[in-house]
Structure 1
Amino acid sequence: MKTRVMLLEDDIRASYTLESTINQHPQFQVVAVSESCTDAQIQFNAFQPQLVFVDITLPDGNGLALIQQLRQQSADCHFIMTTAERETTTVEKAVQLGVIDYLVKPIRMSRIHQALDDYLQYKQKLVSASTVDQDDIDQLLRKSPIQPIRQTPKGIDATTLESLKTLLYREQLHDFSADDISERMNFSRITARRYLEYLESEGILRLVLNYNTGGRPRRLYQMIK
């Protein structure tokens, strides 16, 4: 069964990016989207989400205050912040309220996927045993020593990655899509998107959404110079 997700976000573009990215994950489904604290209360009670993405600055209130209110109502869910606010006092307040992640706008798609995977690992650790030892608790609270990072993550071949980077730097492509790369590299669109998202997470590319399509926005990538 998929994890029920609710979004509280008044920026339509940010909301669409979040919803489409989350729904791409096979274990999550967005069941409710709100643009205000008032509507969020109604939607929360109606859909009982298990995970809520919350913006801080909203038309009729503050996302942190809403989380505190829901906590007082014994809400059985977890919260992830999505905000442009970076002040340490704001981050500290979010931590005090028990948010499990804090995503700073503009949010990368790869960072959203990471937040979802971290949530799944967190839940799996809690349900896999009735008790936990100190190492398990340290992992849950993200206090474990940093593990060595692989040169490339699972699903990313180093040789293919270098070939793609060579293509991008040689042709200096601008506003290109996964379909464009798929044709040039002779592999599937899904594979192309995976490599492009990895390069985005590495700060080599940036994702832009083209809304001049008459329908759903088109995902395009640009080289970061």
Structure 2
Amino acid sequence: MPMPTEERVSQLVAELVERRGFDLEGVAISAAGTAHSKVTVTVDSDGTADLDTVAELSTEISQALDDAGDFGETPYLLEITTPGIDRPLTELRHWQRAQGRKVKIVLRPGAESPEEKGKTTFEARVGVATDSEIALVLGGKRKPHRVTVPRADIQSAVVQVEFNPPGAAELELAGGVAPGRPQPGAQEVSDTEIENEAAASDSPTEGIVE
């Protein structure tokens, strides 16, 4: 029996994800050994993901997939995860949730650079984001200053791992950290910890649930 498409699984789980207060960021289906498939559902929210809620969502999604019967007798491994630190910022909600974080920016060809040296690839701290533009803080701790860049001028942006907290003036210019999000440089719960905790809370169904 052919596997369901990622689009089909997205349709099956989207309402459950939304009901739990999450945004569905993606569904991936891949082979997990020779005996079964792996279904990865990536979710995100404005605040820190609650492990109990993630576990409950995992159980609900597993039941929904079993009830739909799209996998037939083929066992599957279900994994509920949150976006990794290297997830590109593409939607407005991604930018808003990254407020206060350092990102690596790549401008589109021909876009005017806000950098003094005219660099089209640079690091900046994310400020307030709107549909049309992004406020960025340049200069780091030494010479922090805020600029505004059209969203259309940004080709890609990826949050960077920070081991030290930003300067107070730098963070103030960014408008602080998005509510419910950890402070930059603070120890964060990893995706693996979230996945493992959810797995421990799940009960087996016809599929193999991780």
Q: TM-score range by the shorter chain?
A: under 0.3
Instruction: Name the structure, 1 or 2, with higher relative contact order (CA <8 Å, separation 6+).
Output: 2
Kindly indicate which of the two structures has a greater share of residues assigned to helix.
1
Q: How high is the TM-score relative to the length of structure 2?
A: 0.26
Question: How high is the TM-score relative to the length of structure 1?
Answer: 0.25
